[in-house]
């Protein structure tokens, strides 16, 4: 199992996960719990954290520590991370999973929505990385998993702020890998496509964009648990990027080989989808 492979590399088995109360964050935590990890979770909703803690202890977690806070609050986030490392004796894995979605074109998306998305999706990840690094450097080993999205490269029309924020997460992860690889710290940028999650609960979007995202999630044959397993497998293998599922991985290759052609193709696909809905 991928969590077990990680444990062999990082025998302290201590992981801190943002947005850990539900969705992909909880799915990642559940996989680690089954292999006896000590877990720290941060989420904005206390009831979710309480339910998650009960579940994870039942699934085999050694200990589960929780904090109710927003990842954009650096003081609270850093305090939680340091408290976890102090209570558990260190930190091996930091998973920056918390994020939000927003729809809107470059010309029409409110700047307030841009600030909201970038503050949570990018600055929140940067805070997690910044404060996890010293803790990992003390142990001379660590793993940072940053959850981006296939939107980082498949920059579809009408999702400007979200696309930009997730592309920034990939760039941030690559920079971290370049700066701290010699410290024994491995970084992974995960770029999943659509799969059922609670991301749409807070999405800022017109009804048609929200409906499109919901339909794409419903069509996915991936669950949060399956996506989590593939992310952990990629982390155990030492990869820098993972794109999930394979269909999106082919799109990523298309984008890298023929970027201009890919952008035109994406615009055509969105136009066709709009025409079908209009019909």
Residue 222: alpha-carbon gap to chain centroid: 15
Q: Active-site residue 248, yes or no? A: no
Which residues, at least 6 apart from 114, have a Cβ–Cβ distance to it below 8 Å?
102, 160, 161
Among 192, 238, 268, 249, residue whose Cα is nearest residue 6: 238
The residue assigned the tokens 């492979």 is: 5
Q: Is the peptide bond before 245 cis (omega within 30 degrees of 0)?
A: yes
Three-state secondary structure string covering the chain: CHHHHHHHHCCCCEEEEECCCCHHHHHHHHHHHCCCCEEEEEECCHHHHHHHHHHHHHHCCCEEEEEECCCCCHHHHHHHHHHHHHHHCCCCEEEECCCCCECECCCCCCHHHHHHHHHHHHHHHHHHHHHHHHHHHHHCCEEEEEECCHHHCCCCCCEHHHHHHHHHHHHHHHHHHHHHHHHCEEEEEEEECCCCCCHHHCCECCHHHHHHHHHHHHHCCCCHHHHHHHHHHHHHCCCCEEEECHHHHHHHHHHHHCHHHHHHHHHHHHHHHHHHHHC
Q: Which entry of 77, 84, 116, 162 is annotated as an active-site residue?
A: 162
Residues involved in catalysis: 162
């Amino acid at each position: 199992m991928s969590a077990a492979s990680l444990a062999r590399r990082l025998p302290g088995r201590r992981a801190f996960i943002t947005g850990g109360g539900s969705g992909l964050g909880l799915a990642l935590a559940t996989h680690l719990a089954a292999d006896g990890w000590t877990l720290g979770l941060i989420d904005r909703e206390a009831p979710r954290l309480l339910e998650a803690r009960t579940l994870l202890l039942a699934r085999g977690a050694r200990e589960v520590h929780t904090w109710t806070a927003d990842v954009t609050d650096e003081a609270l986030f850093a305090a939680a991370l340091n408290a976890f490392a102090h209570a558990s004796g260190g930190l091996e894995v930091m998973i920056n999973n918390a994020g939000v979605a927003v729809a809107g074109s470059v010309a029409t998306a409110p700047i307030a929505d841009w600030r909201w998305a970038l503050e949570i999706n990018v600055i929140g990840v940067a805070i997690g990385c910044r404060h996890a690094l010293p803790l990992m450097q003390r142990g001379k080993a660590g793993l940072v998993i940053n959850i981006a999205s296939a939107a980082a490269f498949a920059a579809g029309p009408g999702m400007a702020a979200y696309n930009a924020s997730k592309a920034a997460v990939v760039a941030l992860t690559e920079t971290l890998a370049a700066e701290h690889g010699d410290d024994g710290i491995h970084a992974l940028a995960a770029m999943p496509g659509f799969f059922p999650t609670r991301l749409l609960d807070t999405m800022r979007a017109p009804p048609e964009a929200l409906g499109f995202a919901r339909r794409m999630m419903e069509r996915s044959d991936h669950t949060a648990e399956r996506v989590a397993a593939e992310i952990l497998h990629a982390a155990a293998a030492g990869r820098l990027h993972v794109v999930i599922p394979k269909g999106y991985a082919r799109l990523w290759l298309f984008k890298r080989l023929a970027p201009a052609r890919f952008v035109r193709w994406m615009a055509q696909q969105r136009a066709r989808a709009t025409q079908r809905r209009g019909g």
